[in-house]
Amino acid sequence: MIRRLLETLIIEAFEKHGRASEIQNSMGDFLYLRDLIAKTVACTAWSLSRNTKQALPKLKDVGDKSAHSRRFNAVLNDLDSIRGDVRVVAEELLSLSGMR
d(CA 8, CA 57): 16
Residue 100 confidence (pLDDT): 80
Residue 56 confidence (pLDDT): 96
Low-confidence ranges of the chain (pLDDT < 50): none
- The dihedral region occupied by 32, where left means phi > 0, alpha psi between -120 and 50, and beta the remainder, is beta
Residue 64 confidence (pLDDT): 86
Residue 65 confidence (pLDDT): 86
What is the count of structural domains for the chain? 1
Residue-number span of the structural domain to which 26 is assigned: 2-96
CA-to-CA separations, 96 to 13, 42, 74, in angstroms, rounded: 5, 14, 28
Residue 42 confidence (pLDDT): 95
